[in-house]
Chains A and B, each alone.
Chain A
């Protein structure tokens, strides 16, 4: 038996779905951010797997940029979370509807 790229893609799909499920069901803003990180990681797995199959380094470069953007996103996102928790110590994503049309 040999590890083919299909294995990686299946794993990537499973992790992405778990992240998506958490993103849609959890209400703690911190956990929602963690689920976004999970989804980004799932995509990274398939990027690197494709990079291996196609023998092209572009996939790894893409993962590098995903990492940088994820770091920036976490910094901005967590400062938003800090602001939210300053207002009230019990924040649920469902309460954040001030901008709904």
Chain B
């Protein structure tokens, strides 16, 4: 019963936050609705016993990513509310709403017209191989903490992908600096060179 209440409350927060993101005229309000949505997802992760991901969800999504969004909004001074004239309801937008709703219907069709689900109907070993293409199921050991279980998987089967993410993050950081850097400004806008010249 507690589970149901927690699920329903956080689901409500997530959906309300998501709707807030797409219908706010002011980008800052959208960003704050996004935070609400991310926190709701973090609560669901706790409910699903993915404790590490719940923590990372709050720190990385709710912290870093949304702060980056708000930082850019403030930096560019685009936090003034958009006038309705900038976004008239065009035929493209009507098609957008229809596409979103149609997508929802398709997913619901797939969900409710498919066979029975639930823990009792979870695939057996053969079904698991068919589903994932690998026989190496790494069952969640109830005795270990979630962090340990996740770390075992990450640093054994997925260690190459983990290394690749390090490269990806480096490339993204360098790429962002190179793109945003002013071409005639060779000390990244810090004014150090001017001080030296004086």
Which chain B positions have C-beta within 8 A of A30? Answer: 27, 30, 69, 72-73, 78
Contact B69 A33 (CB under 8 A): yes
Which chain B positions have C-beta within 8 A of A38? Answer: 18, 21, 34, 37
Closest Cβ–Cβ distance, residue B134 to chain A (whole Å): 9
Is B115 at the interface (CB under 8 A from chain A)? no
Contact A41 B41 (CB under 8 A): yes
**Complex Cα gap A54–B129 (Å):** 12
Given contacts A57-B138, A57-B150, whether A65 and B30 have CB atoms under 8 Å apart is no
**Complex Cα gap A37–B123 (Å):** 31
Residues of B in contact, count (CB < 8 Å): 86
Contact B165 A65 (CB under 8 A): yes
Contact B77 A89 (CB under 8 A): yes
Contact B49 A52 (CB under 8 A): yes
Is B76 at the interface (CB under 8 A from chain A)? yes
Which A residues are closer than 8 A to B by beta carbons? Answer: 1-11, 13-22, 24-28, 30-31, 33-35, 37-38, 41, 44-45, 48-49, 51-58, 60-61, 63-65, 67-76, 78-83, 85, 89-90, 92, 94
